[in-house]
Chains A and B, each alone.
Chain A
Amino acid sequence: GESVGLHLPTLSVQEGDNSIINCAYSNSASDYFIWYKQESGKGPQFIIDIRSNMDKRQGQRVTVLLNKTVKHLSLQIAATQPGDSAVYFCAEKNDYKLSFGAGTTVTVRA
């Protein structure tokens, strides 16, 4: 699978491999985090969320990891498929405001 330690604006992954998308959040007071997927011409779509009292949460083919010590969030996608091609955003909630981080464009190679 492909893995990046730092946030990168783009990620190219072979179909069937695992993807890891990283995100650094800014506010240590944020206590709720969400990953969104945005396909071309569409609004952001909820993928998975995690509260700050957890460090890992699993969904269907996706896992979110939270490291509060370094304010880092990652999204792991298992067995990446062509339909996973999109822009992925992490978002943090603080003072009831939902703020988005810079996105990562994922392109899946056949």
Chain B
Amino acid sequence: DTEVTQTPKHLVMGMTNKKSLKCEQHMGHRAMYWYKQKAKKPPELMFVYSYEKLSINESVPSRFSPECPNSSLLNLHLHALQPEDSALYLCASSHSQGARYTEAFFGQGTRLTVV
């Protein structure tokens, strides 16, 4: 199984809503990532978890709250988002963050629209 599964595929939420994005992998990877991708732009790193601990936060606003409940799951909790947060949110995983020469596997993404 070389898949990273993200749910939901599409999400529309209001600015006062609270929602969560979910990501799951069963490849035994111990590094998991959240990226944000705007239309026609490259993915931008948001968070990195290594062995279920947050190791990198790229100065992401607190309205985005990541959580890694176990080695297979990664969540992104959303609260009080703005319309400019509308984007494709990508989850990725790789062998441990300490393994330098290893690619990241990406999910299909969640297309988020904030209204």
CB within 8 Å of B: which residues of A? Answer: 31-32, 34, 36, 41-46, 49, 51, 89, 93, 96-103
What CA separation (Å) do A103 and B44 show in the bound complex? 12
What CA separation (Å) do A43 and B109 show in the bound complex? 6
Q: Do B101 and A32 touch (CB < 8 A)? A: yes
Report the 3 A-B pairs with minimum CB-CB distance, sorted nearest first: A100-B42, A43-B106, A44-B106
Q: Do A96 and B105 touch (CB < 8 A)? A: no
Contacts known (A31-B100, A96-B97); A44 close to B45, Cβ less than 8 A: no
* B43: Cβ under 8 A from any A Cβ: yes
| Shortest beta-carbon distance from B12 to chain A in Å | 16
- Picked from A42, A89, A99, A103, the residue with its CB within 8 Å of the CB of B45 is A99
Q: Do B103 and A49 touch (CB < 8 A)? A: yes
* B56: Cβ under 8 A from any A Cβ: yes
CB within 8 Å of A: which residues of B? Answer: 4, 6, 31, 33, 40-45, 48, 56, 90, 92, 94, 97-98, 100-101, 103-109
Q: Do A102 and B42 touch (CB < 8 A)? A: yes
Q: How many A-B residue pairs have CB under 8 A?
A: 55
| Nearest opposing residue in chain A for B35, CB measure | A100
Q: Do B107 and A98 touch (CB < 8 A)? A: no
Q: Do B101 and A97 touch (CB < 8 A)? A: no
What CA separation (Å) do A44 and B4 show in the bound complex? 11
- Picked from A34, A42, A44, the residue with its CB within 8 Å of the CB of B43 is A44
Chain A residue contacts of B94, Cβ below 8 A: 98
22 CB-based A-B contacts, threshold 8 Å: A32-B100, A34-B103, A36-B106, A42-B109, A43-B4, A43-B90, A43-B106, A43-B109, A44-B90, A44-B106, A49-B103, A93-B100, A93-B101, A96-B31, A96-B97, A97-B45, A98-B92, A98-B94, A100-B44, A103-B40, A103-B41, A103-B42
| Shortest beta-carbon distance from A96 to chain B in Å | 5
